[in-house]
Structure 1
Amino acid sequence: MLQFIVSEEGLADVKAQIYDINSAELADDYYFISCTVALMFLNSAGVDTVIVDMQAHTLPGGYHLIVCAMSAEQYPCPVPLPFTLTAGQLPVTYKGWELVKYNEDAGVMHNGAQLQFATLLARKLGK
């Protein structure tokens, strides 16, 4: 599907690859890293390491898009996920980055479970 979109949109330099996020060992630097609905399936002890690794391998001016489930007072997580964010937790890990957009909104998972998600779009500062 990605290759179809790349072709249809005439995009250049888009390379899809499989990566074991648990390893937290990116080999290259990237302009854009998307980590949507993935952190919540990682061992909670490794999430900080994964985020630090992604940040270290993002080019100056590059972006991160992260979407992750939360467990909040108003919307406690109804499924036993290995990791969930708490209110305000994610922006703290992006000090020194420009927060382009951040919100914590209720949403619905594919199985109908209602919970809160944190969505972050951040740009790495620097030259």
Structure 2
Amino acid sequence: MKTKMLITLFALISVAGTSEATGRLAAQQNTSIIPTYSLWCVENPYAYFTRVIWNLKWACKNGADCSPLAKGGRCQDLDYYRSRASYVFNDYYQKNPIPRNCDFGGAAVLTIQDPSNSKHFTFEKIKLKITRVPL
């Protein structure tokens, strides 16, 4: 009885290990749960101004491309700080799109609403297309 039980257990473990090693079973299971929407990282409208500005500067020093916001850049007319912060936060996030890269101490949030086309955001002078990464 114990021998049959051990053989059955060994067979189950072997099958499970084979499917994980080949990736076939795991890939089939994961395809149905992959979200089909894009995410953007935008400035949190409830965040304190000083927190947003401090994190905007931090992101510029730590990997976000802030050159379009400089004088002569293609986005230099973004004088509204929320638009600038959202551009910088999203640029930083899109380079490594994991949720913790869009926190900035509460100064930013992830959204599925495209901020360049949405009436739900107050980006008065935003004239750029924010890149998006499908998940």
Q: TM-score, normalised by structure 2?
A: 0.26
Structure showing greater Rg: 2
Query: Greater relative contact order: 1 or 2 (C-alpha under 8 angstroms, separation 6 or more)?
Result: 2
Q: TM-score, normalised by structure 1?
A: 0.27
**Whose strand proportion is higher, 1 or 2?**
1
**Whose helix proportion is higher, 1 or 2?**
2
